[in-house]
Amino acid sequence: MTAVPGALADAGAHRVRVSLGERSYDVIVGRRLLEQGHAFDSLSPGPHAVIVTNDVVGPLLAAQLTQALRARFSRVSQVTLPDGEAYKNWETLNHVFDALLAEHCDRNTTLVALGGGVVGDITGFAAACYMRGIAYIQVPTTLLAQVDSSVGGKTAINHPAGKNMIGAFHQPRLVVADVDSLLTLPRRELVAGLAEVIKYGAILDEAFLSWIEAGLARLLALDGDALIHAVRRSCQIKAEVVASDEREAGRRALLNFGHTFAHAIESGIGYGRWLHGEAVGCGMVLAARLSERLGLIQPQRARRLESIIEKAGLPTKPPDIDDKVLVEFMRVDKKAIEGSQRFVLLEGANGAVVAPATEELVERVLFECRSS
Ligand code: NAD
Ligand code: GLY
């Protein structure tokens, strides 16, 4: 993490650098960032910014963001999408392209994603494709998006055969995470975001996991300082991993802890029925139990994680769906190599690895988890 300049520092904001050579960028974390606008001061002036948001977040925050962007962009316009994971598809993406073309947007246009991970992923993918690639900024407004999806440049839409199957790596120019925007977030969404915070502690930072364990009540009560620490530390961990392995050739895959199970749950029951973070919560329980079954960790490590996930209010048991269907969906996971299933697993006292597991064992773990 590095110091922030002048007005931002006065406002108590923090800066996390994602170091990727000429594609490096800052994640600014703090309070009143949209209201004060200084978080955008580092941007070069541009002709046109298009805010991409949805019909829930737009009415709450788009006016404030428009005002903040006017200091940097001659023109600021807006595209509003329908809300929900069910709309993270080709049709919605095309709606963004239609709007950009209708407004004569060119290669100097900057897209600004204002919303949760769904808006962020669609906007990032639209920016990656439009005129072969234009700039975009992430203004994440859910906890999940602030700690995970807005950082690292993964963009995607869903396909009926699998989640996030169509996408691109395209890094944003700037991420502005204003924790005050979380004050209107429904509690279920806040809890879902905690799953990704817990994930970082579980796989890469034991001290952070202990801090989360002790600070759950403050986080759930939307304490500003606790939220800033959770977002900042999560972004630091993610920035460090992404800087070392941008394209997920190795280490970045660890960030998918719990996600092989989670994506199968989401696809299996239909997008949007469980929130992504809820599926990740349950997925981490299953992955920890699988690690234990494979003899990679002592039972206490799995029990402790399960207890934190439960105390956060996340599901710890799979939804009511045939385990064979879940296993079927795991076959399209992006980590699978030549048909062999690979999982992010816990190892030893603090570590994590990517390792294979048989479908029989996975089914057994699903069964045991349901019946425990
Ligand atoms: P989301 O984008 O659907 O947002 C959750 C809900 O909260 C929506 O109804 C949204 O309109 C509403 N909302 C957002 N901000 C709000 C606010 N400030 N006040 C009130 N309501 C608000 O869901 P999410 O959990 O943010 O993101 C999930 C998506 O992120 C999934 O599609 C997942 O695949 C993706 N994801 C991507 C990455 C990545 O690296 N690109 C990482 C993790 C997750
Ligand atoms: N959410 C996992 C990653 O960005 O790699």
Catalytic residue among 196, 278, 292, 306: 196
pLDDT tens string 71-101: 999 999 999 999 998 899 999 999 999 999 9
pLDDT at res. 86: 87
Say whether pLDDT at 5 is over 70: no
Determine which residue's CA is closest to atom 28 belonging to ligand 1.
Answer: 117
What percentage of the chain reaches a pLDDT higher than 90?
A: 88
Alpha-carbon span 353 to 346, nearest angstrom: 6
Q: Are 143 and 73 in contact (CB under 8 A)?
A: no
- C-alpha distances (whole Å) from 293 to each of 288, 302, 361, 364, 368 are 9, 10, 8, 9, 11
Residue 11's pLDDT band (cuts 50, 70, 90) = low
pLDDT in tens, 191-227: 999 999 999 999 999 999 999 999 999 999 999 999 9
d(CA 2, CA 239): 13
238 as an active site residue: the answer is: yes
Decide whether any atom of ligand 1 lies within 6 Å of the 119 Cβ: yes
Given the residues 104, 132, 338, 360, the one annotated as active site: 132
> Cα–chain-centroid distance for residue 135?
19
Q: Which two tokens stand for residue 331?
A: 């076959």
Q: Is 173 one of the annotated active-site residues of the chain?
A: no
Distance CA 86, CA 273 (A): 10
Q: Which of 14, 276, 301, 342 is catalytic?
A: 276
* CA-proximal residue: ligand 2, atom 3 (nearest): 255
**Atom 20, ligand 1: residue with shortest CA distance:** 185
DSSP-derived secondary structure letter, 340: B
Q: Name the active-site residue from 252, 289, 301, 342.
A: 252
141 lines ligand 1 (CB under 6 A): yes
What's the one-letter identity of residue 238? K
Q: What is the pLDDT of the chain when averaged over all its residues?
A: 94
- What distance in Å separates the CA atoms of residue 318 and residue 35, rounded to the nearest whole number? 41
Cα radius of gyration (the chain) = 20
The single residue listed with the structure tokens 């944003």 is 172
What would the pLDDT profile of 224-269 be if each residue is shown by its tens digit? 999 999 999 999 999 999 999 999 999 999 999 999 999 899 889 9
- Active-site residue, 159 included: no
Please choose, from the candidates 133, 91, 88, the residue with its C-alpha nearest in 3D space to the C-alpha of residue 110: 133
Is residue 189 in contact with ligand 1, taking CB distance under 6 Å?
Answer: yes
Span 116-155, pLDDT tens digits: 999 999 999 999 999 999 999 999 999 999 999 999 999 9
- The residue type found at 155 is T
List residues bridging with 16 in a β-sheet: 27
In angstroms, what CA-CA distances link 123 with 10, 224, 247, 290? 31, 28, 19, 35
Question: How many angstroms separate the alpha carbon of residue 333 from the centre of ligand 2?
Answer: 14
pLDDT, position 341: 85
149 and 121 Cβ atoms separated by less than 8 Å:
yes
Does the CB atom of residue 116 touch ligand 1 within 6 A? yes
- Work out whether the CA dihedral 224, 173, 137, 274 comes out positive or negative: negative
